[in-house]
Amino acid sequence: MNNSKAGNGGTDRSKTGDKGAVKLGPRAIPIPRSISEEAQAALARLVGEDGIPLHAHYEMPQPDDFAGWMRMKAAADAQYAAAVQGLAGSLRAAATTMEQGGATIHVAMPEVPAEDGRALIDFHGGALVVGGGEACRIGACRQADQHGIACYGVDYRMPPEHPYPAALDDSLAAYRVVLQRHAPGSIAICGRSAGGNLAAAMLLRAREEGLPMPASLVLLSPQVDLTESGDSFETNRMLDVVLPRPLPSNNRLYAGGADLADPCLSPLFANLQGFPPTFLQSGTRDLFLSNTVRMHRALRQAGVAAELHVFEAMPHGGFMGGTPEDAELEAEIRRFIQTHWNE
């Protein structure tokens, strides 16, 4: 019996054909019908007619190519700026920018400020080298709108101008600022991709210095292993249409000669005892899937309450197209943060 329907309502393949199928050698990996039509369309937009992810055509400079990194960052920042311009008009939160202890922090307040003193610290992604500036500010406003609380977007310094430990120093300085304004049990921390690395590494430093832990931690496809030792760095290579290839050049640039396996560079390898309840998210097509599932196991082994959410066919960073899956993820994050206030 030929059943043309499957999964979440089952999209008829005749509507999509093989558009968006990723070619891996002799194989063509089709977009699954088990995800929403919006998610299918989001994946298809990022694959060329040749079956190669569009992002796979971008090559990262070598770690010692300062001029090449600066050109890449300028181009990426322009793309980020164009992307966030479309969001700016829909935002209700307003942000101010402050400098504290060398850190730049965008403080976004919701349209109706919460009276309970709750706050979110947001660490942006960007492969450890991009994503700051206006994109960071807009991101903080989005988080303030979504959660209805103050959001502190950490605009940390990045290489090639500022290699490790500049970003980590800025992250800890920002945490100190927020601790001066909010009780630890009223603070949630969220880090996506590279920001997940900094969120986790910052808490390691905070623990070493005797600072209190926040109420909760959210790690979205976190870049917690700069040695890139996990299985998905091979199995999802070129299948992840957002992040098709590993990032060894970025990682070495960020480390500035330090050992990539150092826990402050790769928090996956740290002693994670005492961490706050943690929410982790990835997708079956995410290059960083192994980072996420291994971090979840490491947290569980350290006795930390941790939730793992893996979404079907989701690439790195989500579908990013207003899909039902992205909305479900946002709702899960809000639920998790709400559950752990003041524990």
pLDDT tens-digit series, residues 232-291: 999 999 999 999 999 999 999 999 999 999 999 999 999 999 999 999 999 999 999 999
Backbone angles phi, psi at 11, to 5 degrees: -75, 135
Quick one: pLDDT at residue 115?
Answer: 67
Nearest Cα to Cα of residue 184 among 215, 144, 149, 152: 215
Task: Say how many Å lie between the first and final Cα of the chain, rounded.
Answer: 54
- Mean pLDDT, residues 95-109: 91
User: Residue 308, Cα to own-chain centre: how many angstroms?
Assistant: 15
Position 11 pLDDT exceeds 90: no
pTM, to two decimals = 0.93
Residue 284 to residue 232: CA distance in whole angstroms: 9
Distance between CA 6 and CA 8 in Å, rounded? 7
Q: Quick one: which H or E segment has residue 337?
A: helix 324-339
C-beta separation of 154 from 122 below 8 A: yes
Round to whole Å and give the CA distance between 277 and 305: 5
Segment holding 82, helix H or strand E: helix 66-88
pLDDT at residue 283, rounded to an integer: 98
Helix (H, G, I), strand (E, B) or coil at 280: strand
3-state secondary structure at position 229:
coil
Query: Cα dist. 109→105, 171, 184, 242 in Å?
Result: 13, 20, 19, 30
60: nearest Cα among 126, 135, 156: 126
Contacts 24+ apart (CB under 8 A), 6-15: 6/33, 6/34, 7/32, 7/33, 7/34, 7/35, 7/312, 8/34, 8/35, 8/36, 9/36, 11/37, 11/40
For the chain, list the domains and their CATH numbers: 68-339 (3.40.50.1820)
Average pLDDT over residues 204-226: 98
pLDDT of residue 16: 43
Average pLDDT taken over every residue of the chain: 92
Pairing of strands 216-220, 27-29: unpaired
